[in-house]
Structure 1
Amino acid sequence: MPILFLIIVGAAAGFIATRLMKQDASLVATIGIGIAGALIGGLILRFLLVITGIGAGLVGAILGAMLLIWFYQRFKG
């Protein structure tokens, strides 16, 4: 998956994930969370892309971002 696609999907996924997890974050942090989540989700759920197509990439990115937010909330401070 091209890096540019991960960045675009990651930005959208970060926005969705921060809203689902009720996490207040700045725009830059939201995009960063989404990009990191897209990378994590892209690596973990890469095989789903082959089976179900691009839709799985968005699902993986959202799940990865949510996992990252969960770790952040659990271990901050």
Structure 2
Amino acid sequence: MGVLWLIIVGAAAGFLATRFMNLRLGTLETIGVGIGGALIGGLILRVLMALTGALAGLVGAVLGAILLLWIIKAIQNR
């Protein structure tokens, strides 16, 4: 169940992050960015998640995905 939940949250976070960053990626790339963002955001916002629950996890996943997309864009623009 944990892996399925990670894919679902990753897909949602990736979708939101790509829309916020005005990027169009394929489905697998969007899910990958969302999962990567969820891992990054989970590390950054672990304390906040403990205090406020699952909503903080989604916020952290979206912020992490946005950060990951920003890094990818910066590397691609070199």
Q: TM-score, normalised by structure 2?
A: 0.89
Matched residue, 1:74:
74
- Deviating above 6 A after TM superposition, structure 1's stretches of 4 or more consecutive aligned residues are none
CA RMSD of aligned residues (A): 1.2
- CA distance in 1 between partners of 2:60 and 2:11 (Å): 13
Q: TM-score, normalised by structure 1?
A: 0.90
Gap regions ≥5 residues in structure 2: none
Matched residue, 2:29:
29
- CA distance in 2 between partners of 1:46 and 1:6 (Å): 15
Partner of 2:57, secondary structure, is: helix
Percent identity over the alignment is 59
Q: How many residues align?
A: 76
1:27-64 alpha-carbon deviations (Å, 9 max, x no partner): 11001000110011111111111111110000000000
